[in-house]
Amino acid sequence: MKKISFIFATAILLGFGLQSCNREDNNGDNNGGGSGDDNSSVVWVDLGLPSGLLWADRNVGASSPEDFGGHYAWGETALKTVYKWSTYAYGSDFNALTKYCFESNYGLNGFTDNLTTLQASDDAATANLGDGARTPTEEEWQELIDYTTSTWTIRNGVNGRLLTAANSKSIFLPAAGQCHSLYFYGPGENGDYWSSALYQNNPSAAWVFAFDSDSQNMQVVSRIYGFSVRAVRARQN
């Protein structure tokens, strides 16, 4: 939980100097858009991956590849102003989950449903981009890491990582920061992108692709954070 500890420390240090999650992003839209892109505005990029998976060229809710797009709690499909347990759709605390819970110690009154992967009805990618679009699994993020070269770069004034495949095609992931409680952290400094997979040892957390200017890796973070979503879909024959 190193990432979570860092975010809380930042909140203590910066306090009221932080931006609100109900903010204007780099495209001028409240909370980076998120009302839902038209499918026709998204370019699906074939990176030549072994799975054949296609990756969207922009974040969910973004008007361009450099736009931050929306920030979503895991399993939620709408934007909000406050990102914490009291506003989370599927539980009021880490040990009071009401959906996506495989361990009774974390479920409300011992609740379990053994769901470990986002259903389409709770997937921000599907909700915003339509049938066929979805949030990548943990394994699909790892495939992207393994089969691309990642470079910290600036595109049209926006910091982020350019992931380039062997076929010379690439996608740009803006360092869109994240939301926790009332505040917006790290724009231009780090990016956090949800997977569709719960953490195997704790259903109150899920896998995230996280990066900054120095590194990138898969991490485990509480479901209540507001992170970016990048959609994938299967190649259409």
Which amino acid does the sequence have at 64?
Answer: S
The residues pairing with 120 across neighbouring beta strands, listed in sequence order, are none
Looking at the structure of the chain, the number of domains it has is 1
pLDDT at 236 (0 to 100): 79
pLDDT bucket at 36, cuts 50 / 70 / 90: very low
d(CA 46, CA 38): 20
pLDDT bucket at 9, cuts 50 / 70 / 90: very low
What is the average pLDDT across 135-161? 98
pLDDT at 14 (0 to 100): 36
Number of DSSP helices (H) and strands (E) in the chain, helices first: 3, 12
pLDDT at 91 (0 to 100): 98
d(CA 19, CA 23): 7
Is the whole model's pTM more than 0.75, yes or no? yes
What is the average pLDDT across 143-155? 98
- For 203-231, how does the pLDDT look when each residue is reduced to its tens digit (9 = 90+)? 999 999 999 999 999 999 999 999 999 99
Taking CB atoms within 8 Å and a gap of at least 24, the contacts of 106-114 are 106/202, 106/203, 106/204, 107/203
Asked whether the CA dihedral 67, 48, 149, 179 is positive or negative, the reply is positive
Burial 140-152 (b: 16+ CB within 10 A, else e): bbbbbeebbebee
Domain that holds residue 179: 2-205+213-233
